[in-house]
Amino acid sequence: MITMHTWQHPRILIVDPDMDFRAELYNFLLSAGYEYVEAAESLHQTLSKISQVAFDFVVLDAGATVQQGLERATRIADLNASAKVILMIRDEDYHAWHTACVQSGAFPVMLKTTFAHNLLYLLEEEL
């Protein structure tokens, strides 16, 4: 297994079923100076990748429900314990997620529609 990279060059895994959004986010991170960015479209691909590489960050589509998103994030965090999992949510799910994340305190959350404003801040905050 490839171990975690230094914090100056973190390894980032993007997980989202939407190919266009994955590509947009991938290119955004590369243009922001992040060199080690990979992408996966499914939980199955994600689990395969994290069994081979220890990522510093996993930027994860939260899915259709809060429960589903928290279960997926917890599973990834359990397999890659040192990774910071950041959940991407839809605007209409904000209130449900805000309540769940305030209660659990487990994972940071960002709106998918505003990732350009929030993702770099979240990554830098966690470094």
Contact 2, 53 (CB under 8 A): yes
pLDDT at residue number 46: 95
**Runs of H (alpha helix) within 1-127:** 19-31, 43-52, 66-79, 94-104, 115-126
Q: 43-52, 68-77, 94-103: which has the minimum mean pLDDT?
A: 94-103
Q: What is the pLDDT of residues 19-61, one digit of tens each?
A: 999 999 999 999 999 999 999 999 999 999 999 999 999 999 9
Share of the chain above pLDDT 90, in %: 56
List residues bridging with 15 in a β-sheet: 40, 60
Q: SS in 3 state form for 67-84?
A: HHHHHHHHHHHHHCCCCE
Q: Where along the chain do its domains lie?
A: 11-126
Contact 99, 124 (CB under 8 A): no
Topology at the third CATH level for domain 11-126: Rossmann fold (3.40.50)
